[in-house]
A and B are shown apart, each in its own frame.
Chain A
Amino acid sequence: GQNIDQPTEMTATEGAIVQINCTYQTSGFNGLFWYQQHAGEAPTFLSYNVLDGLEEKGRFSSFLSRSKGYSYLLLKELQMKDSASYLCAVTDSNYQLIWGAGTKLIIKP
């Protein structure tokens, strides 16, 4: 079966750095997405990785290792507005998105 694992919840302090991990087992791989979802709102696109390595976009970076079936999202200089759920999703061999359950990130002052 297809499976994406993420921690259910993480807590971090304002101004700090946090890393959210995602491991996947899917039938094929055609890219990995990270989305942010604030409570009661729609998911919004953060990043896309299809090749191994680090993609940096401002305070957010995303890393991919295809051989390990592993990705992480790195958030730097945390702000209160970063409190949200972070969703990992993998495009499988049929070009369907398989979604993880999401990681709820709580930022404390």
Chain B
Amino acid sequence: NAGVTQTPKFRVLKTGQSMTLLCAQDMNHEYMYWYRQDPGMGLRLIHYSVGEGTTAKGEVPDGYNVSRLKKQNFLLGLESAAPSQTSVYFCASMLGTPSQPQHFGDGTRLSIL
């Protein structure tokens, strides 16, 4: 049982480059989330999805886009990477009721030079 899988695990980009982070879950969860985690700060929500084909903005959406074409996959795109986007990115999924916990992937460590 893989749970939530994120690829890649590490990546170094140059300013201005674009890339896509992939999140896949095999738990048939409705809700999926993308967070970033920076030192001394809590997890901050970038974008989220409440079901296949739907996406919504979170707290810090600027500079990112997402797509949820299939229920099991949630993609996070960086259109033109900036040094301020250097962070650890976590994907999470949840069954769909408020009392259920979110399940996290192992994270993607992204450095923008």
Contacts and interface: CB of A to CB of B under 8 A. Distances in A.
Interface residues of B, number: 18
A104 B90 CA distance: 19
A48 B40 contact: no
A87 B98 contact: no
A106 interface: no
Interface string B38-70: 001111110010000000001000000000000
Interface centre among B40, B42, B98, B105 (most CB of A within 10 A): B42
B76 to A, nearest CB: 16
A42 B106 CA distance: 5
Contact of B106 (A31, A41, A48, A98): A41
Interface of A: 4, 8, 30-31, 33, 35, 41-45, 48, 50, 87, 89, 91, 95-102
